[in-house]
Amino acid sequence: MSSCEELCRGWGPCAPSPMLLLSLLLTASPLGLLGEETRQVSLEVISDGLDPPQNLLHIRAVGTNSTLHYVWSSLGPLAVLLVATNTPHSTLNVNWSLLISSDPEGSLMVLPKDSIQFSSALVFTRLFEFDSTNTSDAAGKPPGKPYPPYSLAEFSWNNITDSLDPATLSATFRGHPIRDPTGAFASGTLALRVQAFSRSGRPAQPPRLLHTADTCQLEVALVGAIPRGNRSLFGLEVATLGQDPDCPSVQEQRSIDDEYAPAVFQLDQLLWGSLPTGFVQWRPVAFSQKQGSRDSAMPCQASPLYPTLAYLLPQSPIVRAFFGSQNNFCAFNLTFGASTGHGYWDQHYLSWSMLLGVGTPPVDALSPLVLGIMAVALGAPGLMLLAGGLFLMLGHKWQSEYQSIN
Ligand SMILES: *[C@@H]1O[C@H](CO)[C@@H](O)[C@H](O)[C@H]1NC(C)=O
Ligand SMILES: *[C@@H]1O[C@H](CO)[C@@H](O)[C@H](O)[C@H]1NC(C)=O
Ligand SMILES: *[C@@H]1O[C@H](CO)[C@@H](O)[C@H](O)[C@H]1NC(C)=O
Ligand SMILES: *[C@@H]1O[C@H](CO)[C@@H](O)[C@H](O)[C@H]1NC(C)=O
Ligand SMILES: *[C@@H]1O[C@H](CO)[C@@H](O)[C@H](O)[C@H]1NC(C)=O
Ligand SMILES: *[C@@H]1O[C@H](CO)[C@@H](O)[C@H](O)[C@H]1NC(C)=O
């Protein structure tokens, strides 16, 4: 609570009691999370025994009435399938010999088929690098002259089994380009850390996205790769399945600026359909240091989603396997950093996080610190009003419960 104490000093008189009262109030109030509150999460690596390993990571999150399946794979470009079913008993079925064949259609199934309520996929297709010298940082402006992109379909990945951590329900894909003539990735890695959750919470690391048991987090980190210019910006191309004829929508939400995400007033989300649906959610911020902080924060810009011809994108066998070949793809670009300020060039480090899930995306509530500051700003009369209102409200509730018992 050191930052809190500092704030208190800045705000003048500050008794601990209002803070305590308000944090109690906050913990007592429901978070308003929909969906299943807890899930039994298991991580399973489905291996083909080939070298280099082409692993499938199956995350199965079982709730009372539903199961979420996340299937992450480094077969082709790194991709994830998200399948939500309305039974706690649905299973994933994989036929490896068919999956690695030239026509993988039908080799990956979630059964029973009629339990599927929602399914879609994300494919991480290309890593871009731009020369941002002489470019302006105005929003919507191109990030600079592009260098030849790195195709994530031509990456070599680690054996995911070695990074599997059942305690944190996480695993990390670490990869580097198979062909690396300039040696840029000689000691560099692109790491994608996947983490599932059995209940709601918030990680210690910024941007501290609020997660629920209905979500899975991806943290993308580029570490140690030698940039091709002095002011290189990196970008990631993400493809997804659209519903005919539209692409999923991307929404920008104003968000509360608080201790969890200082100076980030926005929450971006991609929604596949009308609510409740599948979603991707992220804060438009990336970090140039492992210890993400306000000092190492960089902007993250997302381009609009556009329909894309499938043959222009590296193809994902797991997407073909599950959805077949007749698909509408939509793609967008994320760009991390700006030509000025902090950048990848500082420490050859860059990280960015997102949540993938189904249902209603988690929404931030006011944090105890912000409520505390409000309480101090309102002062004692405001608090008394608040307490009075609460007393009336609860009194009324008790009264009505008492009556209903009668
Ligand atoms: C991955 O590692 C695990 C445990 O270290 C091993 O059992 C498995 O055979 C490896 N898979 C491949 C494809 O090398
Ligand atoms: C599960 O389904 C049953 C019957 O449809 C329903 O009564 C119950 O509220 C559901 N539970 C949850 C957690 O959705
Ligand atoms: C996997 O697919 C191949 C090719 O279609 C088929 O011959 C084989 O029987 C399948 N294996 C299983 C276990 O279903
Ligand atoms: C940037 O602009 C300066 C002045 O206009 C020019 O001399 C320089 O070559 C430019 N650099 C790049 C990388 O385009
Ligand atoms: C990078 O900066 C150094 C020193 O400022 C300069 O000598 C070099 O030409 C620059 N390289 C590029 C690719 O702009
Ligand atoms: C992403 O940016 C690259 C480089 O500017 C461009 O070639 C590609 O078409 C963009 N992709 C999308 C989906 O906008």
Residue range 225-250: average pLDDT? Answer: 91
Q: What's the pLDDT tens digit per position in 185-221?
A: 999 999 999 999 999 998 888 888 899 999 999 999 9
Q: What are phi and psi of 390, to 5 degrees?
A: -65, -40
Distance CA 189, CA 185 (A): 6
Name the residue with the closest Cα to ligand 5, atom 6. Answer: 230
- The CA-atom distances, in angstroms, between 125 and each of 6, 152, 187, 226 are 45, 5, 22, 20
DSSP 89: T
Q: How far is CA 95 from the centre of its chain?
A: 29
Please tell me the distance between residue 85's alpha carbon and the centre of ligand 2 in angstroms: 14
Name the residue with the closest Cα to ligand 2, atom 7. Answer: 65
Q: How confident is the model at residue 405 (pLDDT cuts 50, 70, 90)?
A: very low
Task: Tell me, using a 6 A CB cutoff, whether residue 230 lines ligand 5.
Answer: yes
Q: What are phi and psi of 149, to 5 degrees?
A: -75, 160
- The CA-atom distances, in angstroms, between 17 and each of 10, 26, 85, 320, 366 are 17, 14, 46, 59, 18
Please tell me the distance between residue 92's alpha carbon and the centre of ligand 3 in angstroms: 15
The residue to which tokens 């649906």 are assigned:
277
Cis, peptide link before residue 88, omega less than 30° from 0: no
Task: Tell me, using a 6 A CB cutoff, whether residue 198 lines ligand 6.
Answer: no
Opening angle at CA 128, ends 327 and 354, nearest 5:
65
| Secondary structure E strands in 40-85 | 40-46, 56-62, 67-73, 78-85
Q: How far is CA 132 from the centre of its chain?
A: 26
Opening angle at CA 30, ends 28 and 36, nearest 5:
135
Please tell me the distance between residue 65's alpha carbon and the centre of ligand 2 in angstroms: 6
Please tell me the distance between residue 292's alpha carbon and the centre of ligand 5 in angstroms: 28
Q: What's the pLDDT tens digit per position in 226-237?
A: 999 999 999 999
Name the residue with the closest Cα to ligand 4, atom 13. Answer: 133
Q: Counting ligands in written order, which one lies closest to the CA of residue 313?
A: 6
Q: Which amino acid is at 109?
A: M
Element (H, E) at 349: strand 349-359
Q: Counting ligands in written order, which one lies closest to the CA of residue 95?
A: 3
Residue 306 Cα: closest atom of ligand 6: 13
pLDDT surpassing 90 at residue 243? no
Q: What's the pLDDT tens digit per position in 140-194?
A: 677 889 999 999 999 999 989 999 999 999 999 999 999 999 999 999 999 999 9
Task: Tell me, using a 6 A CB cutoff, whether residue 136 lines ligand 4.
Answer: no
Cβ-contact 37, 138 below 8 angstroms: no
Mutate to test the pocket of ligand 4, among 130, 131, 132, 134 (most ligand atoms within 8 A of CB): 134
12 burial type by CB count under 10 A (0-12 exposed, 13-18 middle, 19+ buried): exposed
Element (H, E) at 285: strand 285-287
3-state secondary structure of 335: strand
Task: Tell me, using a 6 A CB cutoff, whether residue 54 lines ligand 1.
Answer: no
Name the residue with the closest Cα to ligand 4, atom 7. Answer: 134
Please tell me the distance between residue 134's alpha carbon and the centre of ligand 4 in angstroms: 6
Task: Tell me, using a 6 A CB cutoff, whether residue 325 lines ligand 5.
Answer: no
Task: Tell me, using a 6 A CB cutoff, whether residue 332 lines ligand 6.
Answer: yes
Please tell me the distance between residue 35's alpha carbon and the centre of ligand 2 in angstroms: 10
3-state secondary structure of 319: helix
Distance CA 406, CA 389 (A): 26
Model's pTM, two decimal places?
A: 0.82
DSSP 305: P
Report strand pairing: 56-62 vs 40-46. antiparallel
- The CA-atom distances, in angstroms, between 188 and each of 115, 218, 225, 349 are 42, 19, 4, 10
Measured over the CA atoms of residue 293, residue 299, residue 303 and residue 308, the dihedral's sign is negative
Cβ-contact 254, 265 below 8 angstroms: yes
Q: Report the pocket of ligand 3 as residue ranges, CB < 6 Å.
A: 95, 97-98
pLDDT surpassing 90 at residue 352? yes
Task: Tell me, using a 6 A CB cutoff, whether residue 88 lines ligand 5.
Answer: no
Distance CA 167, CA 140 (A): 41
pLDDT surpassing 70 at residue 6? no
Task: Tell me, using a 6 A CB cutoff, whether residue 134 lines ligand 4.
Answer: yes
Please tell me the distance between residue 99's alpha carbon and the centre of ligand 3 in angstroms: 10
Name the residue with the closest Cα to ligand 2, atom 1. Answer: 65
Q: How far is CA 76 from the centre of its chain?
A: 21
Distance CA 61, CA 215 (A): 9
Residue 36 Cα: closest atom of ligand 2: 13
pLDDT at 378: 64
pLDDT surpassing 80 at residue 402? no
Q: What's the pLDDT tens digit per position in 363-373?
A: 776 666 666 66
**285 token code pair:** 């911020």
Residue 133 Cα: closest atom of ligand 4: 13
Q: What's the pLDDT tens digit per position in 262-308?
A: 556 688 999 998 877 899 999 999 999 998 888 889 999 999 999 99
pLDDT surpassing 50 at residue 332? yes
